[in-house]
Amino acid sequence: MRHNGHPAVRLEIGGVERVFAPEVLVVIGYAGRDRAAVEHHIDELAELGVPRPASIPLYMAFPPGLVSQAPSITVAGGETSGEAEIAVAVDGGEAFVTLGSDHTDRALEAVDIVASKGVCPKPVALTGWPAGVVGDRWDDLVLRSRIDGDALYQDGSAAANLHPLELVAAIPWVGRPPGCFVAFTGTVPVIGGIRPSTGFRAELSGPGLAEIELSYRVETVPPLAG
Does this model's pTM top 0.85? My answer is: yes
Q: Pairing between strand 24-29 and 180-184? A: parallel
Alpha-carbon 24 to chain mean position: 14
**CA dist list (Å): 115 to 47, 70, 82, 168:** 19, 22, 15, 21
For 169-202, how does the pLDDT look when each residue is reduced to its tens digit (9 = 90+)? 999 999 999 999 999 999 998 999 889 999 999 9
- Report the alpha-carbon distance of residue 135 to residue 132 in Å, rounded: 6
pLDDT of residue 152: 97
Q: How far apart are the C-alpha atoms of 100 and 212, rounded to whole Å? A: 10
Q: What are phi and psi of 184, to 5 degrees?
A: -95, 130
Tens of pLDDT along 38-47?
Answer: 888 788 778 7
74/77 Cα distance (integer angstroms): 10
Per run of 10 residues, the mean pLDDT along the chain (length 226 residues) is 71 96 96 89 78 91 97 96 98 96 94 94 98 96 93 95 97 95 95 93 97 98 88
Residue 31, classed as helix, strand or coil, is coil
Quote the CA–CA distance of 88 and 165 in Å, as a whole number: 8
Looking at residue 158, its pLDDT comes to 96
Do 188 and 224 contact (CB within 8 A), yes or no? no
